[in-house]
Structure 1
Amino acid sequence: MTPRMTLKTTTYLAAAMALAVTLAACKTVGPDYTRPAATTPDAFRGADPAAVGRSLGEEPWAAVFPDEVLRQLIAEALANNLDARIAATRVLQATAQLGITKADQLPTVTGQVSGQGQRGAVFGGTRVPTIGIAQASVGLAWEIDFWGKYRRATEAAQADLARTEWGQRAIITSLVSEVASQYFLLRALDLQLEIATRTLASRDESLRLTVVRERGGATPLVDVRQAEQLVLGAKAQIADVQGRIEQVEHALSVLLARAPGPILRGQALVEQPRPPALPPGLPATLLERRPDLQQAEQQLVAATARIGVAESFKYPQIGLTGSGGVASTSLANLLTSGTWAIGTNLVQPIFNAGRNRNRVALAEAQAQEAALVWQGAVLQALREVSDALVGYTRQREVRSNQEALVVAATDSRRLADLRYRGGATSYLEVLDSDTRLYIAELGLVQAQLAELSAYVEVYRALGGGWTS
């Protein structure tokens, strides 16, 4: 191929590609995405009107959970948790898939070089000359994206990537909430164990005094047996709580991607944060904040784009091909002779039994389903936030009432013990008041845990946790 021919060929190829790019930008079939209407109230039901300011969901988890040990556990979980790491690999997969899809918009260029030699034979004392052939060729194939098939496919792949990224954030949000919930449960069990141990010590002392009184004839043997029942009940409770503590430690260990083992403790249950009011922000902002809502919307974006992909099959597919090559029996002449060709092709579907029409119908139905899924997710998210806000408010009331109950039960237990020692009542009253106090104290622990769990749920429902 002469230099002049090379320049001419290059000019033809450049002109053809420029024309193809111009044609490809002409039209994109299929609908453009618009967000469907979503019903969002002006305020969340259950929100405290006095709770104003930045939404709790916008706060980083390190600010929401000030317990330093809990912060360390959350950070470790985010770094090592297997579900979080799997989510990160899915983002990498979606990124690679987007690159593959984008590549479909560009030409495919291939090159080939080959050579062959043949040694000549000897005939009648004369050797036939050795023959060598060298060949080099370049090929180009490009389906022009005239109807936007590949551009719509790229839109769908970009939405899939965004959906995967929001999916990763959803897992992070759930992970932060789960670690915090399990940690608070662990601290609640620690407090229950402390109460049971203290109660056992008190009941042991009461049993000792009852035995002394029985031996002195001041009280019947039945009182001793009743005191023994209280001691044995406390011991059984201690064993049960100790087993549950170890099981929660195991659950936390798995979240941290550790083998089951002990978990470090920080602040006590009663020292954990209990804000009087939680600002939820505006319901409309929840659509932008919650990862699961963004996931559902990106699914709808991708489904909408794939309608355009399906539509494009109804129109002609326009392709551009080009090839050029050189061949010579001498390396010296390899670049002085050659061939080239440029061509286009057009394929128009004529009859395919309704395949293309049904492709479009399928894509449209999938988009309609995705829209309904997103709208349902919005309503469910609004419900979860309202439920969590109501739960937090009511659990604060329960905890306050339970605290008063413990105060009353403590005083009742003290008075019953004084009456028994003074001979004014039977040991049955002491037994009853002791049992009531123990139940009230355990009930207070449960109320404190429920309040903290509601606090975590408000944070999760508002889409908090994926920013540190």
Structure 2
Amino acid sequence: MKRIAGLLAGAFAVGGCLGPRPVAPATTAVVPPPAWRTALPASGAVRTDWWSAFGDPVLTQLIERAIANSPDLGAAAARVDEARALQRLARAQLAPSVSAGLPTSDARALNAFGVATTNVAAQPSVSVSYDPDLFGRLRNASAAARAQLLASEGARDGVRLGLVSSVATGYITLRALDARLAVARDTLAARGDGLRIARRRAETGYTSNLELHQAEGEYRATEQLIPQAQLAIARQEDALALLLGETPRAILRGAALTALRTPPIPAGLPAGLLRRRPDLYQAEQTLVAADRSLDSARAALLPNIALTGSVGVILTTALSNPVGVFSLGGSVLSPLFDGGRLRANADATIARRDQAAFAYRRAALTAFREVDDSLAGVQRSGEQAVAIRGQRDALAAALRNASNRYRAGYSSYLDQLDTQRGLLTAELALVQANADRLTSYVSLYQAMGGGWSEADIAPVRR
């Protein structure tokens, strides 16, 4: 755990223009620790309070709606119920089996006088069978079913964690598309002013029609960005509605992209947060289940002892009093020759256990990679946004100078046109950089197994 803490201790410290839409109605060295994950509540994989750090209540509301209505999460919960039923079934194999019966029989015969008589006999009985499970075959099978149940719960938490991260990422993407649409409309308005100036100059004979056609072509090029952005917005809204478990509809907007705050990242994140990752927990429990299944398969190679007993009475018209009967016995069943089926099953179980061990190792390595990628994304996208913002400010100042010089007749229209193109590119790049930075925070939330809180960070600070 010290090595894990050292790897995570270097965490970087970084600090709607849309028209209305119609709203529709044992042989491996990879061994998990015995208590890898502490007990969490049913919603432990999702910290709804963590999203409040973005300063947008609409985002938190969308996440809560997705958790309540998502069909994927409902299917994952149904798989947990199935695993819980299978665990009860495996545990029931350890209990004695009790059954009762009431068979009846009748016999017809002729007596000495030639009269037909009927004897009716009833045999009510209770039978009990029990497998003492001397070699742990049933106990290991029950333990494997228990581990499979925990693995299915980890899978459910993984679906929930991926769901809320997808909703947050989709919402950020939607706000970025809104910002791109706003940039396109502002640029179109500015180029409309330039087109009017170029037309007035061409009509008065001050300039040639070349500048007029250049201004008109640039205006049309900017005009086509608006329906393109509107189409992307409509598709993103539909994708978000699907995550929310709803029919396609307009999505409520909250804070603008630039108004979304970012949760502060401490100088060191505790390694224990990785223990809450559902995929890591699922891989661990899958390994435990495979190991217990291996023990059960090996126990199947040993003799099986079963105890049976029955108690009953015989009631018949031929006897004046009932007759009590009982039996008690046991049986030993040992595999002598089965064509190698049991041994092959044990070997296959060993291979599955090894696969689960390597999958567990890969899940752990993937967790470290995702954390490092997310931290790097937060830092580098922030640095990129700062650089693009400086470029945008410089190009905005250059555009003002070029426009003034063009109006005064000191420079050609090409100078203003080139500056306008560069400014539009910088504006769109800045929107994308801000969205990438916010998305990196969401990825870090998911990589850390559900975000972090002040209580999680306090042990590291001490």
If the length of structure 2 is used for normalisation, what is the TM-score? 0.85
User: Could you tell me which of 238, 255, 266 is aligned with 2:226?
Assistant: 238
Stretches of structure 1 lacking an aligned partner (at least 5 in a row):
1-36, 52-56
Residue aligning to 1:40: 4
Query: Bigger shift: 183-192 or 105-114?
Result: 105-114
Q: Cα distance 1:38–1:357, how it changes in 2: closer, same or farther (>3 A)?
A: farther
Matches within 5 A, 1:6-85: 40=4, 42-44=6-8, 47-48=11-12, 60-65=47-52, 66-85=55-74
Query: In the alignment, does 2:91 pair up with 1:99?
Result: no
Query: In the alignment, does 2:430 pair up with 1:444?
Result: yes
**Is contact 2:124–2:314 with CA below 8 Å preserved after alignment?**
yes
Query: In the alignment, does 2:268 pair up with 1:304?
Result: no
| Partner deviation per Cα, 1:291-323 (whole Å, 9 max, x = no partner) | 100010101101111121011122210000111
Q: Cα distance 1:333–1:378, how it changes in 2: closer, same or farther (>3 A)?
A: farther
Deviation of 1:118 after TM superposition, in Å, equals 7.8
Stretches of structure 2 lacking an aligned partner (at least 5 in a row):
16-43, 454-462
Deviation of 1:331 after TM superposition, in Å, equals 12
| Partner deviation per Cα, 1:386-430 (whole Å, 9 max, x = no partner) | 011011101111111111111111111111100000000001111
User: Could you tell me which of 80, 84, 99 is aligned with 1:110?
Assistant: 99
**Is contact 1:46–1:389 with CA below 8 Å preserved after alignment?**
no
Query: In the alignment, does 2:352 pair up with 1:366?
Result: yes
Letter in 2 for 1:43: L
Query: In the alignment, does 2:254 pair up with 1:266?
Result: yes
Letter in 2 for 1:282: P
2:6 partner SS? coil
Deviation of 1:116 after TM superposition, in Å, equals 5.3
Letter in 2 for 1:434: Q
Q: Distance in 2 between matches of 1:77 and 1:103?
A: 37
Deviation of 1:366 after TM superposition, in Å, equals 2.0
Q: Cα distance 1:164–1:321, how it changes in 2: closer, same or farther (>3 A)?
A: same
Q: Distance in 2 between matches of 1:91 and 1:276?
A: 35
Q: Distance in 2 between matches of 1:123 and 1:228?
A: 126
Residue aligning to 1:179: 167
**Is contact 1:61–1:464 with CA below 8 Å preserved after alignment?**
no
Query: In the alignment, does 2:374 pair up with 1:410?
Result: no
Deviation of 1:347 after TM superposition, in Å, equals 1.5
User: Could you tell me which of 414, 439, 444 is aligned with 1:428?
Assistant: 414
Matches within 5 A, 1:262-411: 262-275=250-263, 277-278=265-266, 281-283=269-271, 285-329=272-316, 336-411=322-397
Letter in 1 for 2:276: R
Q: Distance in 2 between matches of 1:50 and 1:81?
A: 33
**Is contact 1:188–1:446 with CA below 8 Å preserved after alignment?**
yes
Q: Distance in 2 between matches of 1:457 and 1:60?
A: 14
Residue aligning to 2:153: 165
**Is contact 2:45–2:160 with CA below 8 Å preserved after alignment?**
no
Deviation of 1:49 after TM superposition, in Å, equals 6.4
Q: Cα distance 1:253–1:332, how it changes in 2: closer, same or farther (>3 A)?
A: farther
Letter in 1 for 2:328: I
| Partner deviation per Cα, 1:331-371 (whole Å, 9 max, x = no partner) | 9978x422010000111223334443333333223222211
User: Could you tell me which of 179, 185, 189 is aligned with 1:201?
Assistant: 189
Q: Cα distance 1:378–1:330, how it changes in 2: closer, same or farther (>3 A)?
A: same
Q: Distance in 1 between matches of 2:378 and 2:391?
A: 20
2:121 partner SS? strand
**Is contact 2:132–2:305 with CA below 8 Å preserved after alignment?**
yes
Q: Cα distance 1:135–1:353, how it changes in 2: closer, same or farther (>3 A)?
A: closer
Q: Distance in 1 between matches of 2:332 and 2:115?
A: 53
Letter in 2 for 1:73: L
Letter in 1 for 2:99: T
**Is contact 2:144–2:292 with CA below 8 Å preserved after alignment?**
yes
Letter in 2 for 1:163: A
| Partner deviation per Cα, 1:122-156 (whole Å, 9 max, x = no partner) | 999x9645543333111122222111111101110
1:342 partner SS? strand
Residue aligning to 1:147: 135
Q: Distance in 1 between matches of 2:452 and 2:320?
A: 66
Q: Cα distance 1:376–1:39, how it changes in 2: closer, same or farther (>3 A)?
A: farther
Deviation of 1:327 after TM superposition, in Å, equals 2.1
If the length of structure 1 is used for normalisation, what is the TM-score? 0.84
2:4 partner SS? coil
Q: Cα distance 1:88–1:466, how it changes in 2: closer, same or farther (>3 A)?
A: farther
Deviation of 1:465 after TM superposition, in Å, equals 6.4
Q: Distance in 2 between matches of 1:226 and 1:49?
A: 47
Q: Cα distance 1:362–1:58, how it changes in 2: closer, same or farther (>3 A)?
A: closer
User: Could you tell me which of 231, 241, 252 is aligned with 2:240?
Assistant: 252
**Is contact 2:14–2:264 with CA below 8 Å preserved after alignment?**
no
Runs of 4+ more than 6 Å apart: 117-124, 331-334
Percent identical residues: 36
